[in-house]
Structure 1
Amino acid sequence: MERFGSILDDLFPEMVAWRRHLHQHPELSFHENKTAEYIYGHLTRWGIEAKKGVGGHGVVGVIRGSEAGPTVALRADMDALPIQDQKQCEYASKVPGVMHACGHDAHTATLLAVAKSFQEQRGELKGNVVCIFQPAEEFTPGGAAPMIREGVLDGVDVIYGVHLWTPFPSGSVYTATGRLMAAADEFQIEITGKGGHAGLPHETVDSIVVASQLVMNLQTIVSRNVDPAEPSVVSVGFIQAGTAFNVIAGTCAMIGTVRSFNEQVRDLVRARIEQIAAETCRMHGAECRVDYKAGYPPVINDETEAERFFRTVPGLFPAENVRRSPLIMAGEDFAYYLQKIPGCFMLVGAGNEQAGIIHPHHHPKFDIDETAMLNAAKLLTRMALSYLHGE
């Protein structure tokens, strides 16, 4: 590990340059054309066996060790978000309305460094390393499932992935045995009432009033229908209705999300949303249409691979910085890989209050402590070597 660590230390300035280039040139989910070419170009220049166009704009690099052995996959996502970058820095996004507000640029730069280090030290490897650069994590149906369908996990024994996480301080690393991140579903509700003059409400069915009551009624699902021991969330994030101050809106649309870790809870919440929406609208003489879209399943780490983290990583980081993660209500399509083969998804602290890196993911001023990339690279390398060498 020392040789790999030294190589990664030397690669850190390049890692920062790669990340900043990607940060300035972000691409949305399903449109990662130039990002994929950038990755593919680096891999092929280093002599790595590479393939592009996997499951959309996915790129796969394979490093084959000098000795026979198992195959480890490492994954990074590479898409950006439709958010206007508000940071004042030299590497701010140059694409209006698009930015890397979740750290996927850093994930890509991290895995590039790991790939290069393994390629340089492939004579030390007992087995193979597959580097998966995945598109379209931010929006369902995501990029993991198409890459799996196109065989990215064929012959792979185990998979590891990281997410740089600004709520955790830089220098810390986290994971959990079993449940780590939530299933993330989306619902859309369209309420149809009867519009009219705002001064004559008795002649209308006010869709905004119905929607307001529905939002409050939906809050009873978690508080009164779900077992308090089962974490879950129902949130309405978008409401749109009306055209003028003196017009009662005849229609109202709302969009929300459901987060859960248990399939039974997931099914219960969906059924209650549909029932409560129908009954609330019926009570007011309105009608509704509910469109419920199941998103990514929960991220559930393999027990053996999570224990590998807690067994081997304290030798890489101070023991007090290797921690068990709380449940995270964000979703991740890394879950699909874990449904197919054993693996472990890990969180690497990337926040730094002293440096002003305090903004949450998906915020227009989001940034990371870039030293977290080096920590992530060493973590992925340590996990891969542990598995390949049978530790």
Structure 2
Amino acid sequence: MPLIDALQADADLFTALRRDLHAHPELCFQEQRTSDLVAAQLTAWGIPVIRGLGKTGVVGVVKAGSSPRGLGLRADMDALPMTEHNTFAHASRYPGRMHACGHDGHTAMLLAAAKHLATNRNFDGTVYLVFQPAEEGGGGAREMMKDGLFERCPMEAIYGMHNWPGIPQGQFAVCDGPIMASSNEFHITLTGKGSHAALPHNGIDPVPVACQMVQAFQTIITRNKKPLDAAVISVTMIHTGEATNVVPDTCVVQGTVRTFSVGVLDLIEQRMRDIATHTAAAFGARVDFDFHRNYPPTVNHSAEVAVLREVMREVVGPEATLEMEPTMGAEDFSFFLQDKPGAYFMIGNGDGAHRSAYAGHDGSGHGGYPLGPCTLHNPNYDFNDALLPLGASLWVRLAERFLAPR
């Protein structure tokens, strides 16, 4: 099944829209201009709009036929708090804000699909077009649910799509079960007793306590969890001391934990707490242990993946429908999948060569800036606009397949 002709014909329209979004990035729960633009476009195409779910979230409602069945299609809208290095014409106009994860492209793809679905309505039921705020750390999916997303928009299943650098343009990837990990943070404060560094016996040094504790954490991975259960404990920050000749009072240890299951996460949190508590006690120090769970694992549902794979194969062929290797990155689409069946999947963003269209002939950016890696959360990233008709075609065909008349 080739790409939809009307979506290919509209490619320039949605490329301009995507680049406008890229030039005007907004951070989590601040996506006012973005949500206004989304709502205005949907309204112009005759699509009723629900606003205010998750503060700045927007849902378009496209009905056809008489079936009570419903399907959710989700795009995230927020940008990242980082400065863009690109110098092309649609680079961010706001220092410290950048669409470095492709949410501008995700929004544009779903808008393109919305226009086609509203014009043709070749399905029986309701498609809910979920434009979600605050994926980047704000838990916008969870907030939309708290505001009644699934009560106001009754859907059987929900799907989410993300671009993936490194997967070639024209390919999709998905897997059954876990596709992304949980995201969790720990903040541990060890309190000893400061002293002169030449007289350490007069104090309680929290630094060797932290060293012992950090080393012991890795035994959780190697000796406490099952070898086949994937997990990561990364200590990424240790802050202590102000002078070389002073034993500090405190030492702060921070980092992240990633797992593919809640059970493994429960084990790791408890063992980390035990190790921190008893290591501190062994040295006569005190400990304040804080463990914060951000996003749960993103776990795809097999039946919904099976439907998605069929549609992928029809749109790009079996050879371009890949098996996704799960990643330890995290995604708040996981909250949706805890409540509804569905699947999260990837569309290949290529290797970054698409940026040469608006760079110098020698591969450099305007002003002589060399193009760096086009990877997610990188200041040189840009979404590949050639994906817009492809991603939108996939959304349309998925809606038509899932809500086919019975």
Contact 2:4 2:389 in 1 (8 A): no
Q: Please give the alpha-carbon distance, in whole angstroms, between the structure 2 residues aligned to 1:207 and 1:168.
A: 46
Alignment partner of 1:30 is 2:29: yes
Shift of 1:242: 2.5
Distance 1:369 1:191, change over 3 A: same
Shift of 1:357: 7.3
Corresponding residue number in structure 2 for 1:121: 120
Contact 2:351 2:374 in 1 (8 A): no
Q: Please give the alpha-carbon distance, in whole angstroms, between the structure 2 residues aligned to 1:365 and 1:254.
A: 31
Q: Please give the alpha-carbon distance, in whole angstroms, between the structure 2 residues aligned to 1:237 and 1:373.
A: 37
Q: Please give the alpha-carbon distance, in whole angstroms, between the structure 1 residues aligned to 2:188 and 2:315.
A: 49
Shift of 1:263: 2.2
Give 5+ residue unaligned stretches, structure 1: none
Alignment partner of 1:85 is 2:76: no
Q: Pick from 388, 401, 405: which aligns with 1:373?
A: 388
Corresponding residue number in structure 1 for 2:145: 148
Give 5+ residue unaligned stretches, structure 2: 355-370
Alignment partner of 1:261 is 2:260: yes
* Cα root mean square deviation, aligned: 2.1
Alignment partner of 1:383 is 2:398: yes
Shift of 1:314: 1.1
Alignment partner of 1:247 is 2:262: no
- Write the letter of the residue equivalent to 1:38: L
Contact 1:76 1:132 in 2 (8 A): yes
Query: Match of 1:91, SS?
Result: coil
Q: Please give the alpha-carbon distance, in whole angstroms, between the structure 2 residues aligned to 1:240 and 1:23.
A: 36
**Corresponding pairs, count:** 388
Shift of 1:168: 2.2
Please show how residues 149-298 of structure 1 align to structure 2 within 5 Å: 149-154=146-151, 155-298=154-297
Shift of 1:67: 4.7
Shift of 1:69: 5.3
Q: Please give the alpha-carbon distance, in whole angstroms, between the structure 2 residues aligned to 1:182 and 1:289.
A: 26
Contact 2:166 2:351 in 1 (8 A): no
Corresponding residue number in structure 1 for 2:61: 62
Q: Please give the alpha-carbon distance, in whole angstroms, between the structure 1 residues aligned to 2:105 and 2:112.
A: 11
Distance 1:245 1:374, change over 3 A: farther
Distance 1:211 1:71, change over 3 A: same
Query: Match of 1:17, SS?
Result: helix
Q: Please give the alpha-carbon distance, in whole angstroms, between the structure 1 residues aligned to 2:238 and 2:350.
A: 32
TM-score (norm. length: structure 1): 0.92
Shift of 1:304: 0.9
Q: Please give the alpha-carbon distance, in whole angstroms, between the structure 1 residues aligned to 2:28 and 2:238.
A: 24
TM-score (norm. length: structure 2): 0.89
Give deviations 1:287-328, integer Å, cap 9, x for gaps: 111111122221111211101122232121032110111111
Percent identity over the alignment is 39
Contact 2:77 2:104 in 1 (8 A): yes
- Write the letter of the residue equivalent to 1:244: A
Q: Please give the alpha-carbon distance, in whole angstroms, between the structure 1 residues aligned to 2:56 and 2:189.
A: 34
Shift of 1:255: 2.1
Q: Please give the alpha-carbon distance, in whole angstroms, between the structure 1 residues aligned to 2:97 and 2:246.
A: 35
Distance 1:51 1:69, change over 3 A: closer
